Amino acid sequence: MRFSLFIQDSPESGAAVASALGFATVALAGGHVLRQVFFHGDGVRCAREGAEADHDLRALVALARQHDVPMLACATWLERLGVVASDGVRAGSLGQWCDALDDVDRVVSFRA
């Protein structure tokens, strides 16, 4: 099965990145494919520059690199919140998110 992950939860609200990491680890170990990880809304603050100190984000970036999974943060929300994306996460558009949806079986959203 092919999945895309959609992270909308702010760092203060919950453990979206930890949950996404757990899901991604299990899915990839089970032979599934991750098409994309997309940070949107307050979720882009989970992928901000300086968040590299967050163990879960570092682990998710490493896992994504190992499996060639693009990690994108919504450019509009990055600008709106004045956030710079972390190393390993690049600015992207909702158009890129929508394009990825044509190539997945399921979307898993992480939000409190």
Contact 46, 7 (CB under 8 A): yes
Residue-wise pLDDT tens digits, 5-64: 999 988 887 689 999 999 999 999 999 999 999 999 989 998 887 765 578 888 999 999
Q: What is the pLDDT of residue 79?
A: 95
Q: What is the pLDDT of residue 50?
A: 74
Q: How far is CA 105 from the centre of its chain?
A: 17
Q: What is the pLDDT of residue 103?
A: 92
Q: What is the pLDDT of residue 33?
A: 97
Q: What is the pLDDT of residue 8?
A: 93
With the C-alpha atoms ordered 96, 89, 45, 48, is the resulting torsion angle positive or negative?
negative
Q: What is the pLDDT of residue 14?
A: 67
Range of the domain at 96: 2-110
Check which CATH number belongs to the domain holding 88 and give it.
3.40.1260.10
Q: What is the pLDDT of residue 112?
A: 63
DSSP string over 1-49: -EEEEEE---TTT--HHHHHHHHHHHHHHTT-EEEEEEE-GGGGGGGBT
The stretch 99-104 carries a mean pLDDT of 92
pTM, to two decimals = 0.92
CB atoms within 10 A of CB 50: 9
Q: Name the residue with tokens 């999945």.
A: 3
Number of domains in the chain: 1
pLDDT band at 86 (very low <50, low <70, confident <90, very high): confident
